[in-house]
Amino acid sequence: MTICRICAGPLTEFLDLGAQPNSDAFPKPGETEGEFFFRLAVGRCGSCTMVQLMEEVPRERMFHEDYPYHSSGSSVMREHFEATARGILATVADDPDPFVVEIGCNDGVMLATVAGAGVRHLGVDPSAGVADRARAKGVRVRTAFFEEETALAIAAAEGRADVVYAANTLCHLPYLESIFRGLDALLKPEGVFVFEDPYLGDIVERTSFDQIYDEHFYFFTARSVQSMAHHYGFELVDVLRLPVHGGEVRYTLARRGTRVPTASVAELLADEDSKDLAEPVTLERFAAEVRRTRDELTALLTRLRAEGHRVVAYGATAKSATVANYCGIGPELISFVCDSTPAKQGRLTPGSHIPVRTPDAFGDPYPEYALLFAWNHAEEIMAKEQKFRERGGRWILYTPDVHMV
């Protein structure tokens, strides 16, 4: 029996997405032999309701020196993190010597604004490549995984933090017990831990099953975060829905009894209860919708290619690995994928081995159809590639269902 990584309750599997590769491991042509695969399946804890992967991928396989994702790659996300930084700065403005720590700072897009304001800060990230990019922006970074030992070392060297922040990071970390012991050691008595991650409510509502991949171990709700926080001596004191990355929630945790939870916590909990969000029947229905999407998307792409149409994809995202491998989409259906990340260009998509090319290839010449893997950046991409639509091209999307625009 597989048990919950948080409370040791029993996990019940409700969705199996088959054999999947590391989502950010883009092999070179001719070097695909020996590619790592694991079984991507999702279960629900019968005790704390936390939805999580059934199988853990070793962290060193995912987060390493050549990790290719850069948070600054999207103008929308740059604006989001700059606004986030301003909000954090406002909360510590009255402290004579505030200290802000970010877990998983990536290329420093958020902390650069904090550094620019002259506020003491530290980013913690295990990926040396993106950490160097952050340092180039004037951000102080410790290249390490955040855990209890790391937090103790930071507290000893730098003092305790007013705010510890993490974006699209906590859901990556199965070893939460060590994380929370570290938070307890690092945060000031009334300090807060603020994190934002993909929201299970949006994943279910939009059938965005591509949010499920190796790096996303947990899929949070307000109810499961409340239970998780209580388990580790903390309390959920605030929530905020966010439109980024296909739907996220920003959670604020504090030590129990130090802050009064806002009304938004009770409101989101009530909304989840009214929708039976994390109940088995809801998750089984979601799984059925995922299977339907797979069948319809594969049938559409197969038909278009049989009719002689040219189809390419846009955005070699981590989540596209789930779609391509679960749906059996390879170079026989998709000619290539365009992506702006230099580290991915000239390589092949994980598992499915579709060539990755630069965005310039998209219009040379324009295809008739384009599968939008990076659907969470649809507005930004469609505005950039307006000529594609003007010349009769059609975008293929698969959330909340398979359709063309």
Please give the tally of structural domains in the chain.
2
Q: Are residues 172 and 276 in the same domain?
A: yes
Partnered with residue 372 across adjacent β-strands are 314
The answer as to whether 24 is a domain residue is no
Inside any domain, residue 4: no
Alpha carbon of residue 204 to chain centroid: 15
| Model pLDDT for residues 264-306, shown as the tens digit of each residue | 999 999 999 999 998 999 999 999 999 999 999 999 999 999 9
For residues 8-27, average pLDDT: 97
High-pLDDT (> 70) share of the chain, %:
99
- pLDDT (tens digit per residue) in 340-379: 999 999 999 999 999 999 999 999 999 999 999 999 999 9
Task: Classify burial at 303, counting beta carbons within 10 Å of its beta carbon; exposed 0-12, middle 13-18, buried 19 or more.
Answer: exposed
Q: Is residue 22 part of a domain?
A: no
Pair (261, 386) in one structural domain: no
Range of the domain at 208: 71-280
- Considering the domain architecture, whether residues 255 and 371 belong to the same structural domain is answered as no
**Strand bridging mode 99-103 / 161-167:** parallel
* Residue 338, pLDDT above cutoff 80: yes
How confident is the prediction for the chain on average, in pLDDT?
Answer: 96
Residue 8 is predicted with a pLDDT of 97
What does residue 317 show for φ and ψ, rounded to 5 degrees? -75, 165
**Same domain (yes/no): 190, 224:** yes
Q: How many CB atoms lie within 10 A of CB 6?
A: 21
Task: Give the model's pLDDT for residue 67.
Answer: 62
Residue 60, in any domain of the structure? no
Residue 222 has what pLDDT? 98
43-79 tens-digit pLDDT: 999 999 999 999 999 887 877 566 666 777 788 899 9
Of 250, 280, 310, which closes a domain?
280
Tell me the pTM. Answer: 0.95
Does 263 share its domain with 309? no
For residue 392, give every residue at least 6 positions away whose Cβ sits within 8 Å of its Cβ, in sequence order, or none: 368
Answer with the one of 280, 304, 324 that is the final residue of a domain. Answer: 280
CATH number of the domain residue 343 falls in:
3.40.50.720
Residues 216 and 308 both lie in one domain: no
Q: What is the pLDDT of residues 152-197, one digit of tens each?
A: 999 999 999 999 999 999 999 999 999 999 999 999 999 999 999 9
Q: What is the pLDDT of residue 69?
A: 66
Does one domain contain both 167 and 314? no
- Distance, in Å, from the CA atom of 26 to the CA atom of 290, rounded to the nearest integer, reads 25
Cis bond upstream, residue 261 (ω within 30)? no
